[in-house]
Amino acid sequence: MINLVGGGPINEQWFKSLPKKGCWIGVDKGTVFLLNHHIEVEHAFGDFDSVTSNEKETIIQKVGSIHEEPADKDMTDMELALEWALKQNQPVRMIGVTGGRQDHFFGNVQLLLSDNVLNYEHTVMIEDGNNQITCHVPGSFKVEKNEVLPYISFIPFTKRVKGLSLSGVKYPLENKDITYGMTLTLSNEILDNFASISFDEGILMMIRSRD
């Protein structure tokens, strides 16, 4: 697992509960967060315009590989880090990308919709203390029940998602089309050990969450 950690708000209690295995990558201010939590940072990406001069010096001293970019560029720091991560052929998790500026949040969600992510053979997700977000292309897949994240919601990320079927859940569906503006598929719950999801056309966002 490659963990990309941005500079947005992070739930401390949740973060401390995460297994620290895998590769940890700092993205701009997120690098400081990781170092403050005594986590080895293998790479750091960003223009580092949100860190102090002392923090920048610490990053230089403690991070093995620094990918510094100019502040004026055509990609966000997180997109640059994700582009690198996708070349590593491992699952990817983005942390510290929700709960702050909404333009950054929606920009980071949009990263899940890139062709490189949608066609990637491993899972790419956004995760925080209350939510786990993934995007899916047509086909079928199973989702394991998770007591920590009991709610499961589906949101169309194309004008129409055709033929959505849900089984093993509190509110099953059979071959239903969902469109922008519908809230039919929010706040479902998995009843069996696994839920089965399938659809025929479109892009579907899945959010697993808790209150």
- State pLDDT tens for residues 19-29: 888 999 999 99
pLDDT at 70 over 80: no
- State pLDDT tens for residues 92-123: 999 999 987 889 899 999 999 999 999 999 99
The pLDDT of residue 104: 86
Residues of the chain with CATH 2.60.120.320: 135-209
- Give CB contacts under 8 A, 24+ apart, made by 184-187: 185/153, 185/154, 185/155, 186/153, 186/154, 186/155, 187/151, 187/153
User: From 2.40.50.140, 3.40.640.10, 3.30.200.20, 2.60.120.320, which CATH number describes the 135-209 domain?
Assistant: 2.60.120.320
Mean pLDDT of 35-39: 95
Nearest to 114 by CA among 83, 140, 138, 90: 83
Cβ-contact 100, 78 below 8 angstroms? no
Task: Read off the tokens for 20.
Answer: 């620290």
Cβ-contact 207, 132 below 8 angstroms? yes
The CATH class given to the 2-129 domain equals alpha beta
Residues of the chain with CATH 3.40.50.10240: 2-129
Nearest to 30 by CA among 15, 18, 13: 15
- State pLDDT tens for residues 135-170: 999 999 999 999 999 999 999 999 999 999 999 999
The pLDDT of residue 73: 79
